[in-house]
Amino acid sequence: MSRPSLSLRLALLSLLQKFGLDGAKPVSTPMASGMWLTANEEALLSDPIYYQRLVDSLQYLTLTRPDISSAVNNICQFMQSPRDTHLIAVKLIFRYLKSTLNIGLNFVQTPLIALRGFCDADWAGSRDDRRSTTGFVVYMGDNLLSWGAKM
Q: Does a structural domain hold residue 102?
A: yes
Q: Does a structural domain hold residue 121?
A: no
Q: Does a structural domain hold residue 135?
A: no
Residue 34 has pLDDT above 80, yes or no: no
Q: Does a structural domain hold residue 21?
A: yes
Angle subtended at Cα 43 by Cα 38 and Cα 47, rounded to the nearest 5 degrees: 105
pTM of the predicted protein model? 0.80
> CA nearest 39: which of 76, 70, 64?
76
Per-residue pLDDT of 45-83, as tens digits, reads 998 999 999 999 999 999 889 899 888 988 998 899 999
> CA nearest 109: which of 136, 80, 141, 131?
141
Q: Does a structural domain hold residue 85?
A: yes
Residue-number span of the structural domain to which 36 is assigned: 5-107
- What is the Cα gyration radius of the chain? 17
Q: Does a structural domain hold residue 18?
A: yes
- Which residue has better confidence, 41 or 90? 90
